[in-house]
Amino acid sequence: MSSQMIKKAMLLTAMMTGLSLGAEAIVPVKIEARLRQASPKFKGYRISWAYGRKPALYSYSAVQTGRFKHSATANQTYSGLKRKGVRAVAQQYVGWGRATAYWHCQ
C-alpha cells in the first residue's frame, strides 16, 4: 500500500502546488466585473456612477443622470459631455496598472 500511497500523495502534492502557483498569478483576472456603484450628490440630486475594473484589465467609468449634463473619464479616456439621460461611458485598457475613474457634472 505504501508505494501506491506515496505515488498518490506525490501526484496530489504536485497538483496542489501547481494549482496554488497558477492561482496566485491568475486569480486577479478571475475577479473582474468588480464594478462599484456610487451616488455622489450634485446640486442635491444623486448621480449614478459605476466604476472599477471591467473586464479585469480595463478601467471603467459610467455616469448617468437625467438632470444634468455629465461625463465620465476612465484613466485618460474621456467620454465627452453627454446630454441629460444619455449614459456617459469611458473605458481604457490598463493591464495590471491602477484604474482611476472620474465623474463630472454641470
Partner 1 sequence: MQSGLCLLLALFLLSQHYENTVKDYGKEEAGAFNLYIDQVADDKLEPLSDFLLSSKAFLIKKEIQQKHQVTNIKISVGGNFNQAIGLSFGHLNLFEKTDLQQLANQPTDKIIGRGQGTLSSLKSIPRPLFASNIFVSQIPVDDAKAILGNYTVVGLNGKQQAYFIKQIAKITGQSEARLRQQRSGAHIDSSSIGLTLSIGLGVTFIVLVILLTIYLISRFKEIGILTLNGWAKYDILKVTFGGYIEFGVVIVPINILLGIFISGLQFNGIWTYLISGIMSVILVLLAILLVSTMLCFVSDLKLIKGFLPKKMLYGLGFSVYGLLAVGLVITSTGLEGPVRQIKENTRLLTAWQPVLDYQTLKKFEEGQNPGTLAGTTHAFSEEIYKWYQAMEGATGVYLATGEYYSKKQLQELKRMDAYETTVPAEPFTLASFSPNYLKDHGIYNNQAVINRAKAGKRIYLIPESISNKQLKAIKNWLIENDTADLEQVKNTFARQRQFEFIKYPERQPIFTWTNHADQSVLTKSPIMLIETSQNMSVNDYVNLHVNTLEGPLKFKNERILKMYTRGKVLKQYQLADNKMKFVPVQQYINGLRNDLRFTIYLFMGVIGFVLLILALTLIALMLIYSVANEKIIFVKRLMGYSNLKIYAWLVSLVCGVTGLQVISVLYLHLDIGLKLCLVSFVLQMLLMVGFIKVKGIEKLKGK
Shortest CA distance to 46 belongs to which of 21, 70, 29, 76? Answer: 70
Q: How far is CA 102 from CA 4, 36, 40, in A?
A: 59, 13, 11
- DSSP run (H or E) holding 24: helix 2-30
Whole-number Å distance between alpha carbons of 8 and 55: 39
Note whether 4 binds partner 1 by CB under 8 A.
yes
* Least CB distance to partner 1 at residue 79 (A): 7
Tell which positions 18-47 bind partner 1, by CB under 8 A.
18-20, 22-24, 26-34, 36, 38, 40-43
Note whether 62 binds partner 1 by CB under 8 A.
no
The residue within the footprint of partner 1, chosen from 8, 37, 45, 46 (CB under 8 A), is 8
* Least CB distance to partner 1 at residue 9 (A): 5
Tell which positions 64-83 bind partner 1, by CB under 8 A.
66-67, 69, 71, 73, 75-83
* Least CB distance to partner 1 at residue 105 (A): 6
Q: Which conformational region is residue 50 in: left (phi greater than 0), alpha (psi within -120 to 50 degrees), or beta?
A: beta
Note whether 50 binds partner 1 by CB under 8 A.
no
